[in-house]
């Protein structure tokens, strides 16, 4: 629904019409529209967390594992699942605009390293349009950045190796 009608079309009445659910049934499960949006937010962040958990235990630092998992989440999912994530991101944008609680949770999640937000938003709103080879090249570039050591560390290692 959100992909078809856009985020502005996400209203309780539209949800009820689309789902066939009664208003009482909706409010039994979600006391407010914000509660529904929080549920969608939790679903999106759970997908990121699950991807992190399934990432390879390669000895890299937790932020690197997290970023590697986010890259996989952004680039390795099949198109249908990317579309589902796109809908969740769009719902999250609505939630952030309409609910201080959703906005607070989103800020907290961003502090935990949702590094690919710009890409997710660009893909969600179709302002980032990459063909298959461009997506693969961007993915490879991001993963390659994770493999590089910071220059300062490389210089220190070179100095240590040069000392007797």
What's the pLDDT tens digit per position in 7-37? 777 888 998 999 899 999 999 999 988 888 8
What's the pLDDT tens digit per position in 70-99? 777 778 888 888 888 778 778 878 888 888
What's the pLDDT tens digit per position in 105-152? 877 766 554 456 667 767 766 667 778 888 888 888 888 877 766 665
Distances (CA, A) of 127 to 27, 38, 78, 98: 35, 25, 19, 23
The phi, psi pair for 126, rounded to 5°, reads 55, 35
pLDDT confidence of residue 113:
47
CA distance 130 to 136: 9
pLDDT confidence of residue 20:
92
CA distance 48 to 70: 7
């Amino acid at each position: 629904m959100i992909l078809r009608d856009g985020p502005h079309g996400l209203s309780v009445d539209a949800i009820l019409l689309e789902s066939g659910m009664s208003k009482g049934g909706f409010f039994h499960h979600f006391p407010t529209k914000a509660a529904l949006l929080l549920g969608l937010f939790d679903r999106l962040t759970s997908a990121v967390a699950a991807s992190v958990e399934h990432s390879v235990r390669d000895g890299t630092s937790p932020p690197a594992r997290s970023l590697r998992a986010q890259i996989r989440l952004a680039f390795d999912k099949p198109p249908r699942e990317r579309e589902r994530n796109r809908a969740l991101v769009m719902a999250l944008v609505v939630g952030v605009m309409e609910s201080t609680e959703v906005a607070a949770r989103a800020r907290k999640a961003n502090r935990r390293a949702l590094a690919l937000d710009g890409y997710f938003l660009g893909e969600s709103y179709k302002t980032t349009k990459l063909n298959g080879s461009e997506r693969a090249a961007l993915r490879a570039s991001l993963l390659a950045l994770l493999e590089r050591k910071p220059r300062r560390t490389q210089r220190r290692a070179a100095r240590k190796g040069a000392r007797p």
